[in-house]
Amino acid sequence: MTDLTSGKTLNRRRFLGAAGLAGAGAALSGVPAIAGETAKSEALITDVQDWQRYLGEGVDKHPYGVPSKFEKNVIRRDVPWLTASAESSVNFTPLHELDGIITPSGLCFERHHGGVAEINPADHRLMINGLVDKPLVFTMDDIKRMPRVNKVYFLECAANSGMEWRGSQLNGCQFTHGMIHNVMYTGVPLKVLLDEAGLKPNAKWLMLEGADSSGMNRSLPIEKALNDVILAFAMNGEALRPEQGYPLRAVIPGWEGNLWVKWLRRVEAGDQPWQTREETSKYTDLLANGTSRKHTFVMDAKSVVTNPSPQAPLKHKGRNVLSGLAWSGRGTVKRVDVSLDGGRNWQTARIDGPVFDKSVVRFYVDFEWNGQELMIQSRAIDSTGYVQPSKDELRKVRGVNSIYHNNGIQTWLVRSGGETENVEIG
- Under the criterion CB under 8 A, does residue 356 sit at the interface with another protein? yes
Instruction: Find the shortest distance in angstroms from Cβ 370 to another protein.
Output: 19
d(CA 252, CA 297): 10
Part in contact with another protein (CB under 8 A); list of ranges 26-34, 321-329, 363-371, 385-393: 385-393
Q: How far is the CB of 27 from another protein (least distance, A)?
A: 28
Question: How many residues interact with another protein (rule CB under 8 A)?
Answer: 120
- Which residue from 19, 116, 286, 351 is in contact with another protein, where contact means CB under 8 A? 286
Q: What's the rounded Cα separation, in Å, for the pair 153 and 65?
A: 25
Dihedral sign (CA 220, 222, 223, 224): positive
Query: Long-range CB contacts (< 8 A, 24+ apart) of 226-231?
Result: 226/190, 226/191, 226/194, 228/189, 228/253, 229/189, 229/190, 229/191, 229/253, 230/149, 230/151, 230/185, 230/187, 230/188, 230/189, 230/190, 231/126, 231/143, 231/187, 231/188, 231/189, 231/190, 231/193, 231/264
Which one of 228, 258, 364, 369 is in contact with another protein (CB under 8 A)?
228
| Contact call for residue 49 and another protein (CB under 8 A) | no
Examine residue 189 and tell whether it contacts another protein (CB under 8 A).
yes
Pairing of strands 125-130, 264-270: parallel
Q: What is the DSSP letter of 109?
A: -
Cis peptide before 308 (omega within 30 of 0): yes
320 half-sphere exposure, CB direction, 13 A CA radius: 22
Nearest approach in angstroms of CB 33 to another protein is 31
Pick one of 172, 245, 318, 329: the residue that binds another protein (CB under 8 A).
172
What three-state secondary structure class fits 176? Answer: helix
CB of 279 vs another protein, minimal distance in Å = 9
Closest to another protein by CB, 23 vs 398, is 398
Q: Could you tell me which stretch among 11-19, 29-37, 265-273, 314-322 binds another protein (CB under 8 A)?
A: 265-273
Q: How far is the CB of 290 from another protein (least distance, A)?
A: 4
- Write down the least CB distance from residue 9 to another protein, Å: 17
The answer to whether 167 contacts another protein (rule: CB under 8 A) is: yes
Which residues 63-102 are close enough to bind another protein by CB under 8 A?
66, 72-73, 75-81, 83-85, 87-88, 91
The answer to the question of residue 276 lying near another protein (CB under 8 A) is: yes
Cβ proximity to another protein, 342 vs 418, nearer residue: 342
Query: Which range of residues in 9-17, 123-131, 241-249, 364-372 is near another protein by CB under 8 A?
Result: 123-131
Question: Would you state the torsion angle of the CA atoms of residues 116, 118, 122, 125, taken in this order, to the nearest 10 degrees?
Answer: -40
* 287 contacts 402 by C-beta, under 8 angstroms: yes
